[in-house]
Amino acid sequence: MQEQFWLDKWKNNQIGFHQQQVNEFLAKYIDKLSLQKNARIFVPLCGKSLDMHWLLDQGFRVVAVELSELAVEELIKSLNLPFEEIPNQHLRHFHHPQIDIFNGDIFQLTQPLLGDVDAIYDRAALVALPENMRVQYAQHLKQVTNNAPQLLISYEYDQDTFSGPPFSVPEAKIKGLYDDVYDIEPLIRIERSGAFQQQDAIETAWYLAKKD
């Protein structure tokens, strides 16, 4: 998963992808997931996102996975909650009644480890993976979550002018990954002028609902 690339990003504090505020699409469209209070939301490749604080403040439970130990340490410190570390062979598992954080390779996260989830919030996982890894990721995500509904955020731009990440994942690619089990609905598209090294991009929020 280009592990060293991302570990080096965190080590060198090259984390321009970390947002200093709660994602506007999360706050605006979380209701599309029709979740009850105390519902459990999976956040893949979570970093130290403030979105996790916001989800907890809304009364949801959260389960997340992140490769970087530095990111997990900073997230735990910012949450200021008493975590218990549960021994595990492949992933470090930090547990609190409201949030579980797994540190390590997402592909080592099994369904029994993850447990039941009611929804997925993917702001920074799919767009962080190169094209040759997205099929594996999407299949793994569907398997471990039993096709839980998703709020997914993507970018689309000329990949030839900016190499990424975040990578450009156009609508056709998203449908190729997910339309076997999901009905895919675009919720909003916003043009971000000069988003990536002066490269314009379209940012889209998607609602993925499990097909009947």
Which segments are annotated as binding site? Answer: 10, 45, 66, 123
- At 153, give phi and psi (nearest 5°): -120, 130
* Tokens representing residue 150 in the block: 């998703």
List the beta bridge partners of residue 152. 122, 206
By the 8 A CB rule, do 51 and 123 touch?
yes
Q: State how far the Cα of 120 lies from the Cα of 122, in Å rounded to an integer.
A: 6
Q: State how far the Cα of 187 lies from the Cα of 209, in Å rounded to an integer.
A: 12
Amino acid at 27: A
- Residue stretches of the annotated binding site for S-adenosyl-L-methionine: 10, 45, 66, 123
Question: DSSP string covering 24-77, please?
Answer: HHHHHHGGGG-PPTT-EEEEES-TT-HHHHHHHHTT-EEEEEES-HHHHHHHHH
Cis ω on the peptide bond leading into residue 166 (within 30° of 0)? Answer: yes
